[in-house]
Amino acid sequence: MTTTDIEQDLTRQQDTFREGLEANDWLLPTLGDGVTGLGPQAEDVVQGIASAARGIAARLSPEAGTRRLRFPPVNGTRLLERTDYVASFPQLLGTIAAFEGDNKAHRQLLATYEEQGDWSAQLTPAGHALVPAVCHPLYAYLEGSRVDGTVFELVGECYRHEPSPDPMRFVTFRMFEAVRIGTPAEAAEHREKWLAAGTGLLTNLGLEVQADTANDPFFGRAGKLLSAGQREAQLKFEILTEVYPGHPTAIASANLHEDHFGEAFDLRTADGAVAHSACFGFGLERVALALAAKHGFDVAAWPASVRQELGLS
């Protein structure tokens, strides 16, 4: 097949999968490009995966313990600066604009709307932004504190501005993350243990997966160098599965941040050294959809072992 043939074939597979997901109430259309709701079965499976992940977190809990925290999908715009997100991934971020005008400004806004113009261009920055990764609010929360190798367990919603016809790519999606902040050895150990345990869970769920080095989509020309460096240093691993034969999709990732966040948020270990961090994350909707691709749209008919692993029977 030529490159064009391969691309057309992939697009056809994506369209067929999306149509199946929508026809079987797994995905619910919204008015937002690339934004989708979930039907009852998909949501049950998402909750089941999160629950199985909590089981791993309990099993792997280190001596310093595991803490379950929860951050909302919105944070300060300043978080995007502090994590370097605006420098590294501007193409994916989303900030929030609000209306702070009076009656007269509101009449203008409504006039623009009546003329079918883009009234949202008349709004002003609210100081809030969408959270692009579930662990970012954590570092800001811990700013300036001593860390001891505790694992933080987080489930939250991410926004990334990359609307796509591929149903596996969500603009807004949930991640389960297990984050450890401590010594370089603790961070490295965390990444390794979770990469193995995460691969194990996905395999038990009947998925054919493989882990591979990867890179984040750093922006622009300078970003190409950062991507190559990240890949060479093996800082990022993804767990991939072939929802579309021949085209692997990442459904989980394991990242070593070295001292990136420790430096940015002044996180230090007991000896005063800058802390290292590592995180492991499941893309909850992606894992759920990969399971639907593998086992079909009727969860009641899934293998008993899979249902049991998800706490569904």
d(CA 115, CA 232): 53
CA 64 to chain centre: 26
Nearer to a copy of itself, 172 or 215 (CB): 172
Give the nearer residue to a copy of itself in terms of CB position, either 153 or 186. 153
Nearer Cβ to a copy of itself (109/226): 109
- Say what angle helices 3-23 and 284-295 make with each other, to 10 degrees: 90
Angle at which helices 40-59 and 284-295 cross, to 10°: 110
Between 13 and 47, name the residue whose CB sits nearer to a copy of itself.
47
Q: In angstroms, what is the minimal distance from the CB of 264 to a copy of itself?
A: 12
Q: Based on CB atoms, which residue is closest to a copy of itself, 13 or 77?
A: 77
CA distances from 228 to 66, 93, 221, 233, 235 (A): 33, 22, 12, 9, 11
Q: What strand order describes the sheet that includes 276-283?
A: 151-159, 172-182, 276-283, 247-258, 236-244, 209-214
Give me the least distance between CB of 291 and a copy of itself, in Å please.
16
Place of tokens 């240093």: 233
Query: How near is the Cβ of 31 to a copy of itself at its closest, in Å?
Result: 3
Nearer to a copy of itself, 50 or 239 (CB): 50
Torsion sign across C-alpha atoms 207, 208, 212, 218: negative
- Rounded to a whole number, what is the largest CA-CA distance in the chain? 63
* Residue 121 or 300 with smaller CB distance to a copy of itself: 121
**CB of 99 closer than 8 Å to CB of 106:** yes
Distance of CA 221 to the CA centre of its chain: 24
Smallest distance from the beta carbon of 247 to a copy of itself, in angstroms?
25
Q: How far is the CB of 162 from a copy of itself (least distance, A)?
A: 10
CA distance 78 to 171: 21
Find the shortest distance in angstroms from Cβ 26 to a copy of itself. 11
Least distance between a copy of itself and beta carbon 246 (Å): 30
**Which residue number, 94 or 206, has a Cβ lying nearer to a copy of itself?**
94
- Work out how close the CB of 248 gets to a copy of itself at its nearest, in angstroms, rounded to a whole number: 25
Check: CB of residue 206 under 8 Å from CB of residue 294.
yes
